[in-house]
Amino acid sequence: MAGSYTPHPDLPPPANVVGVPGWVRRNLLSSPLNIALTVLALYLLYVTLPPLLNWALFNATWTGETREACQTNGGACWVFIQVHFDQFMYGFYPEAQRWRVNIAALLLILGAAPLFAGRVPNKLKVRLGLGLLVIYPIIAFVLFKGGLFGLPAVDTRRWGGLLLTLVIAGVGMTAALPLGVLLALGRRSQMPAIQSLCVTFIEFWRGVPLITVLFMSSVMLPLFLPEGMNFDKLLRALIGVTLFQAAYMAEVVRGGLQAIPKGQFEAAAALGLGYWKIMALIVLPQALKLVIPGIVNTFIALFKDTSLVLIIGLFDLMNIVHNATTNPEWLGFSTEGYVFAAAVYWLFCFSMSRYSQSLEKRLHTGHKR
Amino acid sequence: MNSTKLLTTMFAAACLLAAGAAHAGATLDAIKKNGFIKCGVSDGLPGFSYADEKGNYSGIDVDVCRAAAAAVFGDAKKVKFTPLTAKERLTALQSGEIDVLSRNTTWTSSRDSAQGMNFTGVTYYDGQGFLINKKLGVKSAKELDGATVCVQAGTTTELNLSDYFRAHKMKFTPISYDKSDESAKSLEAGRCDVLTSDQSQLYAQRIKLAKPDEFIVLPEVISKEPLGPVVRHGDDDWFDIVKWTLFVMVDAEELGVNSKNVEEMKKSTNPDIKRLLGVEGDKGKDFGLANDWMAVVIAQVGNYGEIFERNVGKGSPLKIERGLNALWTQGGLQYAPPVR
């Protein structure tokens, strides 16, 4: 066994291609153009970041009660947010009744948490999901609106802030998805009456801007109703938002339906399944899975579009922040208010987007390309 | 273009329908049946209408509605406020969604005629003015030749501004902003020399600045903006009540009656005060209300001077001078017909 060959152990790669220096060389300094861009980006950061941090953190005022507390530091006045925080969350919802909103929120979190956990059996998840979609809105409505079971009634005009934003977005999402699925199926239907009805509906609602829909619902609709007859402004806005989003949702779902090969339909029909069973058991599960990014995209757009209700005088998160900036005691803090609103919107939209990504990962069963 | 025309036609038709359906007294009957007044206010304008953390409204426009509720029900709390944007305010009134619009609305001929409104009076004589840094040493708007002016886009303010400068043969460079916050920041940063807007708003803008004391509002007022409450055409009983609620508050200030001394004043020997407070005669009953409704309005809401000082004057952060809104006896324009 003399002179048996033992290879040298591998030399480590040169120090300048691994670790941080390697990464920097590869990604930031690989060509003259890249070097120039890196320098430019660093310069921009140098110019913008210190003043921003100074304003938002180092020179900011965090504690206090009044406007005067903010006069000295020169930075952001987060006291403004602190003072108005409850208002931003609940709007003008009576203080003594706010526990009802909290309970509804808690119920939602408790009900939804198992849906996100991995270990819960699927059957339970389906039941829980259906319960959340069908029963929860009723519970939430009774809690918010009151007037039953000894709860004092709270007029919808007092709903506001994040509560109202979530109500509009939640109702819009849960109602628009099923409606959109039906419209998409209708548009692909062989029956001319249903098909043309659905096409007309979708094209009409997609053809008008949401702001027009809201404006029509709030301003024009009452003109055509008999004088004195008015139904709730929030309800009108909710209907407008739902129909509008359903049209968009229909087109997203239709995209998914078109991606399902014809063989799937034929195979299902050959098994003797009827139309609804084919759709519910074979086609839609595949189609909806394909268009998760599109659906979530529409949801995120809807969430941000809720801020448009400010033009019809509903106090959603955006409008309540604006309202707080007109407080005579607190004039001049609009920047802080809008930064806070932006942060809340970003938080919600980003979580939705992350959730959709994890959902896609979990559901990809042999389709990954 | 076609759809615009269609909309306009539908709108006009709906207005006619609404006008035809109303008969004198319909609104007042409905108000009495509901037990509250539906009042349209601004969705946030410092000093005029603002909802605090608890949803309680305050401001001049708000107090006008409170006073009307005190007149009709003897209780200033019986009002439901509907916040309205500038765009939807008139249709909200036309459709009956609100009974009275008290939302810093300028009294103009077209609103009074074509749009089927009735202005019940003037709660605030506003006008466009200028806000400028003291450092520039300008004392009058006539010295503004060549100035850079911050102005809110798409408002009549822009139009008034160019009219004024043209009439005085001066040059200016406008910088337009969408929001009042932006223009205030811009003035502070020195991007423009002077900021123009309605005077009532200039004072609010000034507070937003880091050093409000370094800025002054120039004395010139270059446009007329009489702001007042509005009701629908053809609603005479209700129109009279809103109109006289305002008059009563102005008369009360003139006669020295306020919310604190109203009970005492009932013993006054002055016949004007006696009639105003319902001690003598039945001037109150002529409106179809309680005979002492005027006294109730003053007791619960106050006279005009109190409302002004509390919301926009010395008692508020805005600190607006009475100026045009002083009583006619003190060089202002506030003048009300007598209770007789």
- Taking only the tens place, the pLDDT of each residue in B153-205 is 766 788 888 889 999 899 988 888 877 777 888 888 888 889 998 888 888 88
Query: Which residue, of A153, A171, A199, is where some domain finishes?
Result: A153
**Residue A331 and residue B46: Cβ atoms within 8 Å?**
yes
Check if B94 contacts A (Cβ < 8 Å): yes
Q: Are residues A262 and A122 in the same domain?
A: no
Q: Is B11 on the interface with A (CB under 8 A)?
A: yes
The answer, yes or no, to whether residue B1 has pLDDT greater than 50, is no
Residues A227 and A335 in one domain: yes
ipTM: 0.71
Q: Does B20 touch chain A (CB under 8 A)?
A: no
Distance CA A167, CA B283 (A): 50
Domain count, chain A: 2
Q: Does the distance separating the beta carbons of B92 and A215 come in below 8 Å?
A: no
Tell me what pLDDT residue A203 has.
92
CATH topology identical between B2-125+226-330 and B128-223: yes
Any domain includes A19: no
Identify the CATH number of the domain defined by range B128-223.
Answer: 3.40.190.10
Query: In this predicted structure, what is the pLDDT of residue A215?
Result: 83
Question: Looking at the structure, do residues A123 and A236 belong to the same domain, yes or no?
Answer: no
Query: What pLDDT is attached to residue B284?
Result: 81
- Mean pLDDT, range A3-28, rounded to an integer: 82
For range A343-356, the mean pLDDT: 90
The CA R_g of chain B, rounded to the nearest whole Å, is 21
Q: Is the CB of A326 less than 8 angstroms away from the CB of B45?
A: yes
Chain B hits for A75, Cβ within 8 Å: none
- A15 occurs within a structural domain: no
Residue A229: per-residue pLDDT: 61
A47 domain-assigned: no
Three-state SS at A148: coil
Query: Are A142 and A226 in a shared domain?
Result: no
**Residues A182, A149 within the same domain:** no
Who has greater pLDDT, A163 or A365? A163
Instruction: Answer yes or no: is pLDDT of B19 > 50.
Output: no
A309-330 pLDDT, tens digit each: 887 878 888 888 888 888 777 7
Q: pLDDT digits over B111-123, tens only?
A: 888 888 899 999 9
Q: Which pLDDT value is given to residue B24? A: 52
Tell me, yes or no, whether A107 and A205 share the same domain. Answer: no
Q: Return the sign of the alpha-carbon dihedral for residues A48, A49, A55, A59.
A: negative
> In angstroms, what separates the C-alpha of A42 from chain B's closest C-alpha?
26
Would the CB atoms of A331 and B10 count as touching at under 8 Å?
Answer: no
Same domain, A287 and A235: yes
Determine the average pLDDT of the residues in A215-243. 78
Asked if residue A252 and residue A230 are part of one domain, the reply reads yes
**pLDDT score of B241 more than 90:** yes
Q: What pLDDT does A43 receive?
A: 94
Flag whether pLDDT at A222 surpasses 80: no
* Min Cα separation A128/chain B (Å): 36
Inspect the interface and report whether the beta carbons of A223 and B94 lie closer than 8 Å. yes
Non-local (6+) Cβ contacts of B156 within 8 A are B223
Q: What is the pLDDT of residue B27?
A: 87
The pLDDT of residue B312 is above 80: yes
**Average pLDDT, integer, range B42-52:** 84
Mean pLDDT across the stretch A39-60?
89
pLDDT attached to residue B17:
45
Alpha-carbon distances, residue B34 vs A36, A222, A230, B62, B99 (angstroms): 71, 19, 13, 19, 11
Instruction: Answer with the residue of higher pLDDT: A282 or A118.
Output: A282
Q: What range defines the domain where residue A124 resides? A: 94-153
CB contact, 8 Å: B30 with chain A? yes
Does the pLDDT of residue B54 top 80, yes or no?
no
Return the SS3 of B159: helix
% of residues, chain A, pLDDT over 90: 21
Running DSSP on this structure, what letter comes out for residue B97?
S
Based on the fold, state whether residues A168 and A122 are members of the same structural domain: no
- Mean model confidence pLDDT for chain A: 84
* Beta bridge partners of residue B151, listed in sequence order: B176
Give the pLDDT confidence score for residue A367 in this predicted structure. 56
Q: Please indicate, yes or no, whether residues A113 and A134 belong to a single structural domain of this protein.
A: yes
Q: What is the pLDDT of residues B200-235, one digit of tens each?
A: 888 888 887 878 888 888 888 888 889 999 999 888
Pairing outcome for strands B37-42 and B57-58 = unpaired
> Within this chain, do residues A121 and A206 fall inside the same structural domain, yes or no?
no
Cα–Cα dist A362/A354, whole Å: 13
% of chain B with per-residue pLDDT over 70: 92
Distance in angstroms (rounded) separating the CA atoms of residues A210 and A205: 9
Q: Dig out the tokens for B191 from the structure.
A: 């991007």
- The per-residue pLDDT for range B277-304, each reduced to its tens digit, is 988 888 788 888 888 899 999 999 999 9
CATH 3.40.190.10 fits B2-125+226-330, yes or no: yes
B46 contacts in chain A (CB < 8 Å)? 326-328, 331
**pLDDT level of residue B76 (50, 70, 90 thresholds):** very high
SS3 of residue B149 by DSSP: strand
The answer to whether the Cβ–Cβ distance between A325 and B44 falls below 8 Å is: yes
Domains of chain B, residue spans: 2-125+226-330, 128-223
Is there a domain that residue A20 lies in?
A: no
Model pLDDT, residue B100? 94
| Together in a domain, A118 and A189 | no
pTM for this model (two decimals): 0.79
What's A203's domain CATH number? 1.10.3720.10
Does residue A35 belong to any structural domain of this protein?
no
